[in-house]
Structure 1
Amino acid sequence: MRGLVKAEIRKIFTINLWWGLLIPVVVLSFGAGWLGTAVGTINELESMLGATLPIGLLTVSMSTNFSTIFAALFGALAVSGEYWNKSITTSYLTGNPRGAVLGAKLIVYTAMGLLYGIANVVFASLGGLVGAGLDGFGNPADWFTVGAAGLLSMVLWTLLGVGFGALVANSVAAILSLVLYRFAFEFIVSAFLIGSGTGVDAYLPVAAGSGIVGNLAVPIFISAVAGADEPYVPAEVFELLHFFAGGSYGNPWWASLLTFMGYTAAIAAGGWLLSRRRDVT
């Protein structure tokens, strides 16, 4: 397994894909962190309260939920990219059994997902510092909590991408499927489910993934601002902040985490089973 892990590391760093997809993560994270603190209604609310709000907690969540798609695409190309360039045959022949190859990819891409997550949190925080200053993050413990959730979210999205790439085994199909589902299909499905009032929409993959950070950042933000009055904060306020930061009102962050971990495990298992049986040339 050690040799397979080293081989995966060499594959990643001998091509430019890893930093090519990391660049938009850095740019989006910094932009979300900076511009998110400049929302007009936030500035008006700060003027009314006479205090700086920890808006940086929400912008870290927002930047994470914008950036995870790039981690997922990077992971998806881990396997589907090898089918595209025909190197998968050599990988399977030298790394028999096939399951060990996917296992090595999951190990290495866990570390790469962590790298993407660190870049996201750091640059989102830098953007927040530019826009709101140090006071814009409130209690340092809150920042570490939200940041840690951001790292975990990025790692899980990367691993989901690896499993999905193994499941589809086609780079174009993997990329298009992930992008269309992330930005179109689930949005349409959620629009129908929200009206049903069942709360099922919170357990869809993208909603669950965004809830890992959003369902943690929003309650922490409300608690920091409202303090003892938190139980009396209207649900509409929570819903507005969730629209901004991701997640959904009334769904705890750990439920989103467990749900998304289930999706990741199921897709990775499906990719592992299919990769063992799929013909290669």
Structure 2
Amino acid sequence: MNATAVLHSEWIKLKSLRGTAGSLLAVLLVTVGITALAFATIGRSEADNAGAEPVYDAFYALNFGQIAAITFGATAVSSEYVGGALRVSLAAVPRRGLLYAAKAAVVGALALVVGVATSFTAFLVGQSFLGPYAIGLDRPGAVRACLGAGIYLALMALLAAGLTTVLRSGVAVLSILIPFILIVSFVVGDVAGGAADFLPDRAGQQILHEHPAGTLGAWSGLAVCAAWAAAALLAGWWSLRRRDA
């Protein structure tokens, strides 16, 4: 099978899996829904705080949306390890590198499209509740943050996809990544100081700040997050090549 045919087959796989499609849709619904709820209730009072960051605060719900993005990446790959599906995939596409690259490309492309749509929608929905405190896309750093947020969600999905290929279990990856992002990252940040800026979530979210502070800048932080995702994908490729199906 040529590359185009393999990409098409991976697209058919992902859209036909209910759990995978649901987790991808959840990226949009969770992020926009929590944004609307938070900004409708406490948005104006929080916007009036002296230390408020209008651009960064607009992406508050991204902390929840990234969980759905991680789930999408994990379930997209873990489905291959259920019921011997990987053996069937390899029978159709014996070139493991091609199969793996096609799956990563489809996962990344879908996550990027949904991520960018989610970030722009969440930004605009949130600002609609702020009245005089609202900012627009013409605010310095706003468009960069929206685009960067979409890329960040795609990178987190790819990070999860790579780790799932290594561990062969979506449950194991979710059990590691979600507590790490929600708890461990903040604990390490309090203890390790500047070194924590190089963790994937903290580095990637530098793109959301209008004026990033710390060791990394906006795009360099996103590049560090991309390096984490690339390392996970490389480890997944090595694992797929070396192990039996």
**Fold in common (TM above 0.5):** yes
Gaps of 5+ in 2: none
Distance 2:123 2:37 in 1: 8
Partner residue, 1:258: 223
Task: For residue 67 of structure 1, report the CA deviation from its aligned partner.
Answer: 1.4
Partner residue, 1:20: 22
Q: Aligned pair in 2 of structure 1 residues 87, 26: CA closer, same or farther (>3 Å)?
A: same
Distance 2:176 2:213 in 1: 24
Q: Name the % identity.
A: 24
Partner residue, 1:270: 235
Q: Deviation string for 1:96-122 (max 9, x for gaps)?
A: 111111100111112211232134214
Distance 1:77 1:17 in 2: 7
Q: Deviation string for 1:109-166 (max 9, x for gaps)?
A: 1221123213421431242133124971245264322211112111211211221111
Gaps of 5+ in 1: 46-52, 220-246
Partner residue, 1:5: 7
8 A Cα contact 1:26 1:119, kept in partner: no
Partner residue, 2:38: 35
Amino acid of the structure 2 residue aligned with 1:87 = A
Partner residue, 2:210: 218
Distance 2:19 2:159 in 1: 18
Partner residue, 2:201: 206
8 A Cα contact 1:59 1:124, kept in partner: no
8 A Cα contact 2:69 2:111, kept in partner: yes
Count of aligned pairs between the two proteins = 239
Q: Deviation string for 1:198-218 (max 9, x for gaps)?
A: x1111112211222x23xx33
Distance 1:134 1:101 in 2: 51
Q: Aligned pair in 2 of structure 1 residues 19, 137: CA closer, same or farther (>3 Å)?
A: farther
Amino acid of the structure 2 residue aligned with 1:99 = G
TM-score of the pair, normalised by structure 2: 0.85
8 A Cα contact 2:155 2:226, kept in partner: yes
Q: Aligned pair in 2 of structure 1 residues 268, 134: CA closer, same or farther (>3 Å)?
A: farther
Between structure 1 and structure 2, the one with the greater Rg is 1
Distance 1:14 1:60 in 2: 33
8 A Cα contact 1:83 1:170, kept in partner: yes
TM-score of the pair, normalised by structure 1: 0.75
Q: Secondary structure at the match of 1:279?
A: coil
Distance 1:30 1:124 in 2: 8
Distance 1:251 1:148 in 2: 18
Q: Aligned pair in 2 of structure 1 residues 178, 16: CA closer, same or farther (>3 Å)?
A: same
8 A Cα contact 1:207 1:248, kept in partner: no
Q: Aligned pair in 2 of structure 1 residues 100, 193: CA closer, same or farther (>3 Å)?
A: same
- Map 1:27-176; keep pairs closer than 5 Å: 27-32=30-35, 35-36=38-39, 38=43, 40-43=45-48, 55=54, 57-133=55-131, 136-140=134-138, 142=140, 143-176=142-175
Task: For residue 43 of structure 1, report the CA deviation from its aligned partner.
Answer: 3.0
CA RMSD of the aligned region, Å? Answer: 2.6
